[in-house]
Structure 1
Amino acid sequence: MNQPSTYRRNIAAAGLIATAVLSAVSVALQPALTGDGAQRLSALRDAAPSAAISAATFVLAQLPLIVGVLGIGHLLRSRAPKLSASGATLAVLGAFGHAVIGGVMLLQVAMATDSDAGRRTAYAALVDQMGNTPVMLFSLAGLAGTVVGLLLLAVGLWRSQVVARWVPATLIAFLVVEFAGGAVSDAASYLSSVCLLAAFGGTAIAILRSPAHSWSTPANLPAPSQPAVADSLRQGQQA
């Protein structure tokens, strides 16, 4: 009975760790992207190998993120069921939106490394117009889903006390630094990576320490013995 349960528990913890590590690699290798489309493509071209790895790891981080947030939702399901369901759902939506945007980033890297200068000029105009396309809906879904979803899960972790209080506090700090700190300092992304590693690492440890049977599904639970079934039927008849 414990083998599939242990697998679910371990894969949830591994998903959180993998997300934090891949995100940190993406942030460390991402070039500064400012200005118009031509300047953005020029920056990507100058940092082509690292920019490609940064975009790829950003996309890859979304898959273990889905597994990890579902694991957090499972951890909270009995003590904070509403926060568990809503937070995990929104976080999965955010991961999907970010995966789409990550694909766009990979496409821009390919545009930037095109050897034809004329095509790069056309690509730059396309990048400038991208903000007026449906792509931005996925960007909005990624931003809103991730921020609100992780915030709800952090509140659930705080209220349920299934982890140390510093874990949800650090997760909230990650959200603040990642999505608001960039306007204050260029080092905000690096600090947010440290916060995410700490928060997801602490949650992963709590998941690994949770009992394996709490990760069982009804199909994995042992069937009731025949005497127990007979007693239940007898009690029902007497009632």
Structure 2
Amino acid sequence: MTTTAARTTTAADTRGVSRWAAAIVLPLGPAAVAVLRFVLPYYTTDDTKAMAAKVIAEPGRGSAVLWFGCLAVLTLVPAAYAAGRLTRRRAPRLTLVALALLIPGYLALGWLVGEDQLLWSGAHAGLDAGTITRIAEAAHPTSAIAGVFFVLGHVLGTILLGVALWRSQVVARWAAVAVIVSQPIHFVAAVIIPNHPLDLVGWGLQAVGFAAVGWAILQLRNDEWDLPALP
């Protein structure tokens, strides 16, 4: 009876798989956004008509933005959750606040990618920049709300998560610093001094920091990562 129960528990133990899944997923989202921001055919500071005209001129880059945006939307929330699982025991309050900002912020990214979908679809359908602009500017108010959630959530949330990594000492100091400085660099490159290569560096630093978090997760024993499955 005991042997059978033990075998059932072992067979149902997927903690090793979940650790590997977390380690793989962690850097994918930030890396996808890093490339997205680098190939973006327009600057965030451009007006809607300029964005539409640039997507019409370079539809290939507009399409690449959508592919990488799709990957980011699918992986950023699981990545934040996985990182939070690593820091929550030693920095519970910081982790709670960081995830309360990051997860809604990352979920809101879907609305922003939807705007790029509209620009690309309009260009692909042969619409002129003026027509695409009128459609884009008639967007539902939830788009603006999602934009606020994304900007505040991912910038402040990433900084706080980086501080939680520093305080919990679950990764090397350089990895925590990479996460902390990544989004301030992105904010400068996106809003203050528009610069796609610098934006690549900002999000790239988060990807590297998150990769270090994934490596730390792989070093854990299953019992350190999660409770075993019930027989």
Provide the TM-score with structure 1 as the length reference: 0.82
Q: Deviations over 1:83-107 (max 9, x none)?
A: 2222123211111111221122111
Does residue 138 (structure 1) correspond to residue 146 (structure 2)? The answer is yes
Q: Which one-letter code corresponds to 2:35 in the other structure?
A: V
Does residue 124 (structure 1) correspond to residue 133 (structure 2)? The answer is yes
- Taking the aligned partners of 1:69 and 1:40, their CA distance within structure 2 comes to 30
- Taking the aligned partners of 2:52 and 2:124, their CA distance within structure 1 comes to 8
Which among 31, 38, 41 is matched to residue 52 of structure 2?
Answer: 41
Contact 2:186/2:199 (8 A) holds in 1:
yes
Which among 11, 17, 21 is matched to residue 27 of structure 2?
Answer: 17
Contact 2:27/2:210 (8 A) holds in 1:
yes
- Taking the aligned partners of 1:143 and 1:37, their CA distance within structure 2 comes to 18
Contact 2:188/2:194 (8 A) holds in 1:
no
Q: Which runs of 5+ in 1 are unaligned?
A: 223-239
Which among 3, 9, 16 is matched to residue 6 of structure 1?
Answer: 16
Q: Which one-letter code corresponds to 2:57 in the other structure?
A: D
Bigger radius of gyration: 1
- Taking the aligned partners of 2:20 and 2:162, their CA distance within structure 1 comes to 20
C-alpha change, 1:147 and 1:197, in structure 2 (3 Å) is same
- Taking the aligned partners of 2:99 and 2:177, their CA distance within structure 1 comes to 18
Contact 1:56/1:106 (8 A) holds in 2:
no
Equivalences for 1:53-132 in 2 at 5 Å? 53-117=64-128, 120-128=129-137, 130=139
Q: Which runs of 5+ in 2 are unaligned?
A: 1-9
Contact 2:30/2:203 (8 A) holds in 1:
yes
Across the aligned residues of Structure 1 and Structure 2, the Cα RMSD in angstroms comes to 2.2
Q: How far 1:11 sits from its partner (Å)?
A: 1.5
- Taking the aligned partners of 2:193 and 2:31, their CA distance within structure 1 comes to 24
Deviates more, 1:180-189 or 1:168-177: 180-189
Percent identity, aligned pairs only?
23
- Taking the aligned partners of 2:161 and 2:203, their CA distance within structure 1 comes to 18
Q: How far 1:79 sits from its partner (Å)?
A: 0.9
Q: Deviations over 1:203-237 (max 9, x none)?
A: 111111122212223x6267xxxxxxxxxxxxxxx
Which among 172, 183, 200 is matched to residue 210 of structure 2?
Answer: 200
Deviates more, 1:137-146 or 1:74-83: 74-83
- Taking the aligned partners of 1:65 and 1:156, their CA distance within structure 2 comes to 18
- Taking the aligned partners of 1:66 and 1:103, their CA distance within structure 2 comes to 17
- Taking the aligned partners of 1:175 and 1:28, their CA distance within structure 2 comes to 15
Q: Deviations over 1:164-206 (max 9, x none)?
A: 1111111111111001234235132122133123211211111
- Taking the aligned partners of 1:93 and 1:194, their CA distance within structure 2 comes to 21
Q: Deviations over 1:50-85 (max 9, x none)?
A: 211213312321221111111111111211112222
C-alpha change, 1:59 and 1:28, in structure 2 (3 Å) is same
Partner in structure 2 of residue 158 of structure 1: 166
Contact 2:118/2:136 (8 A) holds in 1:
no
Deviates more, 1:87-96 or 1:34-43: 34-43
Q: How many matched pairs? A: 218
- Taking the aligned partners of 1:16 and 1:87, their CA distance within structure 2 comes to 16
Contact 2:186/2:202 (8 A) holds in 1:
yes
Contact 1:56/1:102 (8 A) holds in 2:
no
Partner in structure 2 of residue 227 of structure 1: none
Q: How far 1:39 sits from its partner (Å)?
A: 2.0
Contact 1:87/1:148 (8 A) holds in 2:
yes
